[in-house]
Copies of this chain bind each other. A is one copy, B any other.
Amino acid sequence: MEDCAFCNADGDFLVVPQKGRLWITTECGRLQVSPGEVVVLPQGFRFSVDLPDGPSRGYVAEIFGTHFQLPDLGPIGANGLAAPRDFLVPGAWFEEGHCPEYTIIQKFGGELFTAKQDFSPFNVVAWHGNYVPYKYDLSKFCPYNTVLFDHSDPSINTVLTAPTEKPGVALLDFVIFPPRWLVAEHTFRPPYYHRNCMSEFMGLIHGGYEAKADGFLPGGASLHICMTPHGPDTKTYEATIAQGNEAGPHKLTDTMAFMFESCLIPRVCPWALDSPAIDPDYYKCWIGLKSHFSPEGTKDPIEARENGPKDSR
């Protein structure tokens, strides 16, 4: 982006690089962002990106009318998940001098507009305030989970949330699945089968993903739209069942998957639908799933913890 800067007048970008570093210059200063880190470029900031490692690849989410914030931690208390002090902002940096044909590309109303000026936009000498680009290293995330039985909702791994005005409903949650210990007993540990009022876009930054034994590679993506049932593939499912209740503590390593989860229904653009990268056989990962339910009760390998007699009420 030689003598050229971009500006999004419509909303904020959350960028998740998967391959190749990004050297980003903004009006507030410069940020170096590597795969494993994420960066937020808020609405209205001008920025340019250099690629020191050559071609890069990753994921971008754009949100409108709100900004990302840390989730309210609830009973987690004062510490946990992503810590405020691990979000890094640039120090002020500026450049001066004549730039006869500097181009500003502005995204506005979903279209791109171009303007010329004869100076660099990165001439901001100093700044204060809290409306500013920032980055975050996902390895700083402090994950929580159940530590005796049962399976947590994925919201437990929320890094950032873009709220709506409706409490508990996110325009976009950015959720990760980082390395962590699994210790739940008498529990089916992979992500459970479900359908959801939210739509789930998943990506993989490096390593493998616990719920797909095959076919979900770093740089790939899946989209499970609202109220479409989904869950682990057949291979993962059967392997888990085979293990039964004997699984002890197990540490997931070499993995960093993430989810963009939205209360809105995403549209898939024609460019993607027509892409050769589309996987037309995705649905086959669930072929062969079979019921292990037995009406006699607790004969199933994963013992139903809730099946015991209840206090009458």
What residues make up the interface of A, taking CB atoms closer than 8 Å to B? Answer: 7, 9, 43-44, 65-66, 71-81, 85, 88-91, 96, 106, 108-109, 119, 123, 125, 128-129, 135, 137, 142-150, 152-156, 158, 164-166, 178-183, 195-197, 225-228, 248-249, 251, 263, 265, 291, 293, 295, 311-313
B156 with A148: CB separation less than 8 A: no
Nearest-neighbor residue (CB-CB) of A164 within chain B: B165
Nearest-neighbor residue (CB-CB) of A129 within chain B: B78
Nearest-neighbor residue (CB-CB) of A104 within chain B: B229
Once bound together, how far apart are the Cα atoms of A142 and B148, in whole Å? Answer: 7
How many subunits of this chain does the assembly comprise? Answer: 6
**Which residues of B sit under 8 angstroms from A7, Cβ to Cβ?**
227
- Beyond A88-B311, A125-B293, A227-B108, is A75–B158 a contact (Cβ under 8 Å)? yes
**Which residues of B sit under 8 angstroms from A166, Cβ to Cβ?**
65-66, 165
Closest chain B CB from A204 CB (angstroms): 19
**Which residues of B sit under 8 angstroms from A154, Cβ to Cβ?**
77
Q: Can you offer 11 A-B residue contacts whose CB atoms are under 8 A? A: A43-B227, A44-B195, A71-B75, A75-B76, A75-B81, A88-B313, A108-B225, A123-B291, A125-B293, A142-B149, A183-B249
A144 with B142: CB separation less than 8 A: no
Once bound together, how far apart are the Cα atoms of A74 and B311, in whole Å? Answer: 29
B144 with A197: CB separation less than 8 A: no
Known contacts A142-B150, A143-B148; can you find 6 more A-B pairs with CB under 8 A? A71-B74, A76-B76, A96-B291, A143-B146, A147-B182, A183-B183
Once bound together, how far apart are the Cα atoms of A88 and B178, in whole Å? Answer: 37
Nearest-neighbor residue (CB-CB) of A263 within chain B: B65
**Which residues of B sit under 8 angstroms from A73, Cβ to Cβ?**
74-75
Residue of A44, A123, A248, A265 with most chain B CB atoms under a 10 A cut-off: A44
**Which residues of B sit under 8 angstroms from A79, Cβ to Cβ?**
150, 152-153
Once bound together, how far apart are the Cα atoms of A106 and B228, in whole Å? Answer: 9
